[in-house]
């Protein structure tokens, strides 16, 4: 069954001086402030589209990797994934770097890296972001 998730942004003002509120409507987990300075400079307690993409990508990748490892008979004990999304004003998103450290009993480093590469290629968020260079560093704890 297909699912749809919804987020809304209410924006006031121009790009540089304006600001907005991102609301996670489907889950109801809250509203978060967003602004151009938070995107192009220091966050100062506000989020950005890139941070939201990083959250989505790290979660999706972790789920895909966990699923792949479990399907191969080596379920992970723990996966710690970080996604770094780089934004260059005037250019856009210039890359995403995933870093994952896993605890996977019975699996060697080469097997973990292979599984992580497969998850990077096949998680739905990676597939949605195919116009962006995605790199990966994977290691066992």
Distance CA 74, CA 24 (A): 34
43-79: pLDDT as tens digits: 999 999 999 999 999 999 999 999 999 999 999 999 9
Distance CA 55, CA 75 (A): 23
Q: Which residues of the chain have pLDDT under 50?
A: none
pLDDT score at 114: 98
Judge if pTM exceeds 0.85: yes
For 129, other C-beta atoms within 10 Å of its C-beta total 18
pLDDT score at 78: 98
pLDDT score at 109: 97
Chain-wide mean pLDDT for the chain? 97
Q: What are phi and psi of 53, to 5 degrees?
A: -65, -40
Hey, which residues does 34 pair with through a beta bridge?
20, 47
Distance CA 57, CA 62 (A): 8
């Amino acid at each position: 069954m297909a699912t749809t998730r919804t987020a809304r942004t209410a924006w006031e003002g121009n790009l540089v001086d304006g600001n907005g509120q991102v609301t996670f409507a489907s889950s109801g987990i809250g509203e978060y402030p967003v602004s151009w300075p938070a995107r192009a400079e220091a966050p100062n307690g506000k989020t950005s589209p890139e941070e939201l993409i990083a959250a989505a990508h790290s979660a999706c990748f972790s789920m895909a990797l966990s699923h792949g490892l479990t399907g191969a008979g080596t379920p992970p004990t723990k996966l710690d994934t970080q996604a770094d999304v780089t934004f260059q004003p005037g250019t856009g998103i210039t890359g995403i770097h995933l870093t994952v450290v896993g605890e996977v009993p019975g699996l060697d480093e080469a097997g973990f890296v292979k599984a992580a590469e497969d998850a990077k290629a096949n998680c739905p968020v990676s597939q949605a972001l195919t116009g962006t260079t995605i790199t990966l560093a994977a290691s066992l704890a």
